[in-house]
Amino acid sequence: MSEERSRAASAARAAARPPTTGGRRGGSARALRLLTAAAAVATLSALQTTPAAASTTISVRTTDSGPVGGTALFWGDDPGPGDGEILAACDKQNGDGKIAYAMAQWKVNGEWQFFDLIDEGASDYESGCTYADLPNIAEEKIVYVTACLKSGPNSAREYCGEDTARA
């Protein structure tokens, strides 16, 4: 019994020790390279999830093939007399059986806010878009804008494209 306990204690001590480089030279340099590479990957990942300096006015296209089916437009500063933001949904292919859907999302005090809009292709013959004034969004706030197609007002979103803008 004491021999088994001795082996178990020895195994436990070995498991608790930090790993060694296996007697090879340059083990600490290799570990440093691995840590540097891991830090670089973490930095790149953070940069990819953080939106770049977004524009205040953007147009987002749907991802359907062929001629674009719809777009979402976002104006971060209303070019008219107001000071709010504007969202538009634009159906680019009237009569194809699809409607354009636009959505804007942003955070206020850690809570997601969103506003969505549809254009059935017959709402405004001059521009082909439906427009809406958004609630005033804090300046420089990042807004995520989505453009999709739908088969009807209550159907699932399809062919969605996304981009970011600044309010």
Mark whether 23 and 41 lie in a shared domain: yes
Residues 43 and 63 placed together within one structural domain of the fold: no
- Going by C-beta distance under 8 Å and a sequence separation of 6 or more, which residues neighbour residue 145? 58, 60, 72, 74, 87, 102, 103, 104, 162, 163, 164, 165
- Total structural domains in the chain? 2
Do 42 and 113 lie in one domain? The reply is no
Q: Name the DSSP letter for residue 19.
A: P
In this structure, the answer to whether residues 68 and 123 fall within a common structural domain is yes
Q: Do 31 and 61 reside in the same domain of the chain?
A: no
Identify whether residues 150 and 81 lie together within a single domain: yes
Considering the domain architecture, whether residues 86 and 149 belong to the same structural domain is answered as yes
**77 and 125: one domain?**
yes
Would you say 100 and 149 are in contact if contact means Cβ atoms under 8 Å apart? Answer: yes
Question: How many residues comprise the chain?
Answer: 167
Pairing mode of beta strands 57-61, 99-108: unpaired
pTM: 0.64
Sequence-distant (6+) residues with CB within 8 A of 162 are 60, 144, 145, 146, 147
Q: How far apart are CA 89 and CA 119, in angstroms?
A: 5
Give the pLDDT of residue 36: 46
d(CA 141, CA 137): 7
Supply the pLDDT for residue 139.
Answer: 87
- What pLDDT, on a 0 to 100 scale, did the predictor assign at position 6? 54
Extract the residue ranges of the chain whose pLDDT is less than 50. 1, 12, 15-27, 29-52, 123-124
Predicted pLDDT at 65: 84
27 and 61 in a single domain? The answer is no
* Same domain? 107 vs 134: yes
62 and 28 in one domain? no
CATH number at residue 112: 2.60.40
Domain that holds residue 37: 2-49
